[in-house]
Structure 1
């Protein structure tokens, strides 16, 4: 559909340009001088707009047919929209005024005035360029920016649309169904957290279980690691290799283990066992629930080795 539309617009642009050229040379007697000039300008504007929109849709159709991923196609669409829009606007004004230099000077003066009148939109446009070049996040990434947390749906010239996660309506990393609009200028003045990371779309999570002091800690930690291995072992080992490769490209030195680990923390009336593992952020809650149920089931099957805290002072 896009290819047929773009082809039709290109044909219309060529036909309009040829018609404008023919009218300008041969003239149309029954139109008169003023009518001929107006007809030429109209055909020229039609040719410019048709060529701009036709070329825009033709490039988009080319990108879609050559298996370009959604993220790159989204960025390309915004860049092309801006580029073709500017070219079409300048060409149209030049055709109508027939004074290219004066028109460009006027646009510069108007742009200078707009800079002071519309500072926030301008900062958002600069933020869009920053996002496009430095890639703090892309479409599809899960981010946290200012007070917003969610999945990036689209990145426009001035705002980023985020499919909200958590928020006021739900919790535990679940989508609320609301779309939140965040000004692009936020990336220039706020912390941006990208849960996918460049090249490693996995994050570290923890699962916490509280047990009594009488618990056999070696047994309890072994159970938690076994359960994590059953659910995430192969996937985690595979992604850890990518994680290490990514770290090797930076000056950061971390001791990254290939298997889930358990950290022990002492509290007043219980011992807290924190299972640490690597998981995809979209599956974090589901994986935690499944492992928590399996761990509790194993603990309850061994009441002589695992106890749970009761209300008391220690």
Structure 2
């Protein structure tokens, strides 16, 4: 022991470096231990990855502070060091902090809830779960036409409620306006066609119209918005090729595709029952003049 003490007294610099290296090794071992512990305890992939990165970052910041304190003898501006550490932690965990804040915002403000159909960050679907970190959605659309499920379950960070618009199909007013065009050939009985389309729309959409009127009054009372036309409306436009009927109507946001099919099916059957008085149009080409052709046949 006396020899060791004498060696330390004679070589203080080497001893100091060796002591510092030992401290660094201990810190690294603690970081690795915490990373392995978190890897085993946290099952969710993203949370596990972020927690490990956080431990690693805090460890490196701690090493910087220890190094500064060790080689200078003291930290004159401890407040600055703590501030830098806090800023580093906040920067590393900003997505996590935003996600937690987003979940609180979602529940307090009632941005959306499970069962709502929303579009957020370019993804459209039905909300099936909202937790402290993620919103889980059953995706609709993409390669599937109309508002059908694609079959993919999407997990979206709650932080996105602060980063862009959120389209809610069902909050306060679970109805949407839809429309489609019907081409009618010139020469058809336009008045008969109008009455058929309006009658079919009124009968088919009667339930949606009645329910939407009651709920639209609540929307007008709650928000600064004018009263809207919820009854089916028909607009007529004359084009180069046909008379275009535009039917606009209100429908339950989950029954849009089926309702459009039902309306089209009923309308085409009613038109066919008029025995040619109403004919659906298609793109046509009118040949105005045929050029004269002279044929000279020689024997």
Partner of 2:218: 245
Q: 1:110 to 1:231 in 2, by over 3 A?
A: farther
Cα pair 1:244 1:256 within 8 Å, conserved: no
Distance 1:243 1:267 in 2: 34
Task: Give yes or no for the alignment of 1:271 onto 2:243.
Answer: yes
2:184 maps to which of 211, 224, 244: 211
Distance 2:239 2:98 in 1: 48
Task: Give yes or no for the alignment of 1:164 onto 2:139.
Answer: yes
Stretch moving more, 212-221 or 128-137:
212-221
Cα pair 1:207 1:292 within 8 Å, conserved: no
Distance 1:180 1:132 in 2: 20
TM-score by length of 2: 0.62
Distance 2:138 2:267 in 1: 32
In the TM superposition, residue 230 of structure 1 has moved relative to its aligned partner by: 2.1
More helix by proportion, 1 or 2?
1
Cα pair 2:174 2:252 within 8 Å, conserved: yes
Distance 2:85 2:103 in 1: 22
Task: Give yes or no for the alignment of 1:146 onto 2:121.
Answer: yes
Distance 1:243 1:181 in 2: 32
Distance 1:254 1:173 in 2: 27
Distance 2:219 2:187 in 1: 42
Cα pair 1:268 1:313 within 8 Å, conserved: no
Q: 1:197 to 1:266 in 2, by over 3 A?
A: farther
Partner of 2:101: 126
Distance 2:238 2:136 in 1: 43
SS in 1 for 2:205: helix
Partner of 2:147: 173
- Note the aligned Cα RMSD (angstroms): 2.4
Partner of 1:182: 156
Cα pair 1:164 1:177 within 8 Å, conserved: yes
In the TM superposition, residue 160 of structure 1 has moved relative to its aligned partner by: 0.9
Q: 1:255 to 1:173 in 2, by over 3 A?
A: closer
SS in 2 for 1:197: coil
Q: Deviations over 1:15-50 (max 9, x none)?
A: xxxxxxxxxxxxxxxxxxxxxxxxxxxxxxxxxxxx
1:224 maps to which of 174, 197, 204: 197
Runs of 4+ displaced beyond 4 Å: 108-113
Distance 1:189 1:265 in 2: 41
Partner of 1:309: 281
Distance 2:264 2:175 in 1: 20
Partner of 1:191: 165
Gaps in structure 2 of 5+ consecutive residues? 1-82, 287-299
Task: Give yes or no for the alignment of 1:299 onto 2:287.
Answer: no
Partner of 1:53: none
In the TM superposition, residue 133 of structure 1 has moved relative to its aligned partner by: 1.6
TM-score by length of 1: 0.59
In the TM superposition, residue 149 of structure 1 has moved relative to its aligned partner by: 0.8
In the TM superposition, residue 123 of structure 1 has moved relative to its aligned partner by: 1.6
Distance 1:191 1:268 in 2: 40
In the TM superposition, residue 113 of structure 1 has moved relative to its aligned partner by: 4.5
Cα pair 2:185 2:243 within 8 Å, conserved: yes
Task: Give yes or no for the alignment of 1:236 onto 2:209.
Answer: yes
